[in-house]
């Protein structure tokens, strides 16, 4: 009589999938652009900095919005532009007054940086902002994200952006596993942000990415049930425990 032997085999663990894969396929990029732009045309917020292509106004809004909620920025943005409508007006104002005007937005390094950028723009570029990334990033206070925002929103360039909201959306849709805040992932997500940019409608597309991350694909409770990207989202259905810091 043959004894029954176990049919279980010792299994090697499946190889860990790399945290960072390649870029989205052309078809996936196309679907993403179409769905996101459709959503934005129906649900995008009506905000005053979306009605301008003036590099100064774009820069003011981007610096004010760093780590600050839209509803806190709105009144200050309008007050600021009333008082300092151009780089020339801002550069001519005393820095102490500029810092007081900024109150109560906080992070007071921001008005001082904005003031220094205005002075440099006046002294070196006739009160304008240059339209190339390298020169923009030579200004203290203009990093990769702000340069991309100015290039795409003010100059209509095909320039990617990656702030916290955009990184969250791109990570969830195109990656879905791994550490979303690691340096390697950040580099990868910059590549994804560049890859998904459309040839046209760059202004709307980048605004849509930011709006979508701020209102639908939010950090804690993303609205997956009404999300137009759910069918292509690598994270759907979202599980907060699976998203590592
Ligand atoms: S399905 Fe959920 S996690 Fe994925 S993009 Fe939409 S809101 Fe974000």
Name the residue range of residue 95's domain.
54-155
Contact residues of ligand 1, CB 6 A cut-off: 172-173, 216-217, 222-224, 227, 229-230, 233, 235-236, 238
Do 230 and 62 form a contact (C-beta atoms < 8 A)?
no
Domain end among 137, 155, 173: 155
Q: How many angstroms separate the alpha carbon of residue 224 from the centre of ligand 1?
A: 5
Domain end among 155, 172, 199: 155
- Three-state secondary-structure class, residue 198: coil
CB atoms within 10 A of CB 137: 14
Q: How many angstroms separate the alpha carbon of residue 17 from the centre of ligand 1?
A: 21
Per-residue model confidence (pLDDT) at position 19: 46
Are 27 and 60 members of one domain?
no
Active site residue 120: no
Per-residue model confidence (pLDDT) at position 72: 96
Are 165 and 208 members of one domain?
yes
Per-residue model confidence (pLDDT) at position 245: 57
Residues 153-185 as b/e (b if ≥16 CB within 10 A, e otherwise) read bbbebebbbbbebbbbbbbbbbbbbbebeeeeb
Vertex 193: Cα angle to 188 and 197 (nearest 5): 145
Q: How many angstroms separate the alpha carbon of residue 150 from the centre of ligand 1?
A: 27
**pTM as predicted:** 0.88
Per-residue model confidence (pLDDT) at position 242: 76
- Alpha carbons 174 and 20: distance in angstroms, whole number: 10
236 Cα nearest atom in ligand 1: 1
Tokens 């300092």 appear where? 84
Are 151 and 164 members of one domain?
no
CB atoms within 10 A of CB 93: 14
Domain end among 155, 172, 195: 155
CATH code assigned at 178? 1.10.1670.10
Do 185 and 172 form a contact (C-beta atoms < 8 A)?
no
Which residue from 37, 61, 39 is spatially nearest to 153, judged by alpha carbons? 61
230 Cα nearest atom in ligand 1: 1
Task: List average pLDDT for each run of 10 residues in the chain, which is 245 residues long.
Answer: 40 41 92 98 96 97 94 97 98 97 94 98 97 96 97 97 97 94 96 97 97 96 96 92 69
């Amino acid at each position: 009589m043959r004894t029954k032997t176990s049919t279980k085999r010792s299994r090697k663990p499946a190889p860990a999938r790399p945290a960072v894969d390649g870029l989205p396929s052309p078809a996936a990029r196309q679907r993403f652009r179409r769905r996101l732009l459709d959503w934005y045309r129906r649900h995008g917020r009506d905000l005053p900095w979306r009605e301008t292509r003036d590099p100064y106004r774009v820069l003011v809004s981007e610096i004010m919005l760093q780590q600050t909620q839209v509803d806190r920025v709105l009144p200050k943005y309008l007050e600021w532009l009333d008082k300092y409508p151009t780089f020339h007006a801002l550069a001519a104002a005393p820095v102490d007054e500029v810092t007081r005007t900024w109150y109560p937005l906080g992070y007071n390094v921001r008005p001082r940086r904005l003031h220094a950028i205005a002075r440099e723009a006046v002294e070196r570029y006739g009160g304008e902002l240059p339209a190339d990334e390298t020169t923009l990033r030579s200004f203290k206070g203009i990093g990769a994200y702000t340069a991309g925002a100015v290039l795409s929103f003010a100059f209509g360039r095909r320039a990617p952006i990656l702030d916290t909201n955009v990184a969250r959306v791109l990570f969830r849709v195109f990656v879905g596993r791994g550490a979303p805040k690691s340096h390697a992932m950040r580099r990868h997500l910059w590549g994804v942000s560049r890859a998904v940019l459309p040839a046209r409608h760059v202004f709307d597309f980048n605004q849509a990415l930011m709006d979508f991350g701020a209102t639908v694909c939010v950090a804690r409770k993303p609205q997956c049930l009404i999300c137009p990207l759910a069918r292509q989202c690598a994270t759907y259905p979202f599980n907060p425990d699976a998203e590592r810091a």
